[in-house]
Amino acid sequence: MSLGRKGPPEPPLAGEVLDQRRVKAELVVDAWVAGGIDGAAIGAADWALGADWIRGLMTRKGVPVLAANLVCGEEHPFPGGRVVEVAGRRVGLVGVTAGEIPGCTVGDPALALAETLASLGETDVVIGLLPLDVAALGALGAGPLAIDLAITGGVRPPEEGKVHFPAFEAGSRGRQVSILDLSWTAGATQWMRTGQAAELAQRISRTETRLRDAEARIASAADAAARARFEKQRDAYVQQIDRDRTLSAGLVGGLANAIATSEVMLGAEIVDEPKTAALVAGAKAHLTSASPAAASLPVPHRIRAGSPWAGSDACAGCHPSEHAQWAGTPHAHALGSLAAVNRAADEACWSCHVTAAHQEGGPNLPSAVGPFRDVQCEACHGPAAAHVAAPAALHPVRTPSASVCTTCHDGERDQGRFDLESYLPKVSHATAGGPASATAVPPSPSGE
């Protein structure tokens, strides 16, 4: 339950981007409150929106934040846990926080949680909200804390068996809802995912094969160093098998409570909930009015002199057939697609629908897009102002590689649709109208 996002570390947030993230964070929180929320944890990416601002938001909206390890001054601004009654069961919720918070100390999550857990009283299940990084999560899960299952904030949970509780990753971008169905088995103390028994049996058999392999290699190792390496592998496999057998014994003995998981994709077939839809519409209107420069479609005009970028208009004269072909591809109106859904000013959207975003001489903000609108020639061929000035002497990249495509067709935002073999012909200039050529090249003597 974190507002955070995935991806590489970012520079400190400021200006337009910070404003937009805050509008969106507030939208998410409003939607939580509208839908009913029993517990939330604040992660590092959330604090990056401004510690005072986030605290103010959570308090103002009445979000039941749980942060066992947060101490500001002498006080805990939020409790570490609470118990809610659901269908006659006592569900314990505990949470921690991570990140840099001016004026506060973020303590060791394990110590803080041990104290919180001791204060909860009788519970039927305890759910941990743990927006920690993988290392901290692993350390916590290796310890003896009485947490039955965990929800992580945007990191893939450690492998089962390495932590003592099943862990689930909170989704990102609000595209899906994850549902955990809990059912109790009399006398059971552990929690297991449905289907986990079969998966474990498979994993044990796979590891056993690897173990036999490692043992064979030890027997035939060429030297002491190789032997030591294979022995290390063997030990790791033995440990893995032990862990999995222990887990599996709990399952097969019928001693586990069951967690069935499902995910509902929020596609067009799911009708919008009216209250939430109104909140989204409000936030979008706010984003558009907060960034008027970018809200209206930027008028194409020439890129300033001295830039490494030239813009597609500058190529048309000498490469008319490539230009005509490109103009017929979706790339040539990529920003229009965002504008059509009122998202051209959205800091989370614009960068793949324009050219040269975050590159030297290119735009850093949606309001700075101007002549860099759409996926232009130079998005694939690289900056080409030098080539325009001296076409024969300085060439841009002739054949952009697939890695150029996948900076935007990243497999996540496009929901894995990209497939080079079928996509390349759709943008290739050659397929559109015979062999592409530059008209500035003198015609060959044969007159072709």
Note whether 347 binds ligand HEC by CB under 6 A. no
CA separation for the pair 403, 382 (Å, rounded) = 13
Residues 6+ apart with CB under 8 A from 205: none
165, 230, 326, 372: which one binds ligand HEC (CB under 6 A): 326
CA separation for the pair 179, 389 (Å, rounded) = 58
Please, what is the minimum distance in Å from the beta carbon of residue 80 to ligand HEC?
35
Please, what is the minimum distance in Å from the beta carbon of residue 362 to ligand HEC?
10
Note whether 323 binds ligand HEC by CB under 6 A. yes
Note whether 139 binds ligand HEC by CB under 6 A. no
Note whether 53 binds ligand HEC by CB under 6 A. no
Please, what is the minimum distance in Å from the beta carbon of residue 382 to ligand HEC?
8
Note whether 317 binds ligand HEC by CB under 6 A. yes
104, 343, 369, 370: which one binds ligand HEC (CB under 6 A): 343
Per-residue CA distances from 312 to 42, 138, 232, 239 (Å) = 44, 50, 57, 59
Note whether 341 binds ligand HEC by CB under 6 A. yes
Torsion angle in degrees (nearest 10) through CA of 197, 203, 206, 207? -120
- Whether 207 and 244 have beta carbons less than 8 Å apart is answered as yes
Note whether 314 binds ligand HEC by CB under 6 A. yes
294's tokens = 């970018």
In which residue are the tokens 């067009």 written?
268
* Interactions with ligand HEC, residue window 377-436 (CB under 6 A): 377-381, 384, 387-388, 391-392, 395-396, 398-400, 404-405, 407-410, 413-414, 417-418, 423-424, 426-430, 436
**Of 263, 290, 280, which is closest to residue 28 (Cα–Cα)?**
280
CA separation for the pair 285, 275 (Å, rounded) = 16
**Of 216, 209, 243, which is closest to residue 231 (Cα–Cα)?**
216
Per-residue CA distances from 436 to 22, 123, 378, 429, 444 (Å) = 48, 71, 17, 6, 14
Q: Which residue's CB is nearer to ligand HEC, number 102 or number 442?
A: 442
Q: Which residue's CB is nearer to ligand HEC, number 101 or number 377?
A: 377
Note whether 337 binds ligand HEC by CB under 6 A. yes
Q: Which residue's CB is nearer to ligand HEC, number 180 or number 318?
A: 318
Q: Which residue's CB is nearer to ligand HEC, number 56 or number 411?
A: 411
- Whether 127 and 149 have beta carbons less than 8 Å apart is answered as yes
199's tokens = 């998966």
CA separation for the pair 162, 56 (Å, rounded) = 37
Q: Which residue's CB is nearer to ligand HEC, number 183 or number 415?
A: 415
Number of CB atoms found within 10 A of residue 446's CB: 5
Please, what is the minimum distance in Å from the beta carbon of residue 365 to ligand HEC?
14
Note whether 373 binds ligand HEC by CB under 6 A. no
Binding site for ligand HEC (CB under 6 A): 310, 312, 314-315, 317-319, 322-323, 326, 330-331, 333-334, 337-338, 341, 343, 346, 348-349, 351-353, 375, 377-381, 384, 387-388, 391-392, 395-396, 398-400, 404-405, 407-410, 413-414, 417-418, 423-424, 426-430, 436, 438, 440-441
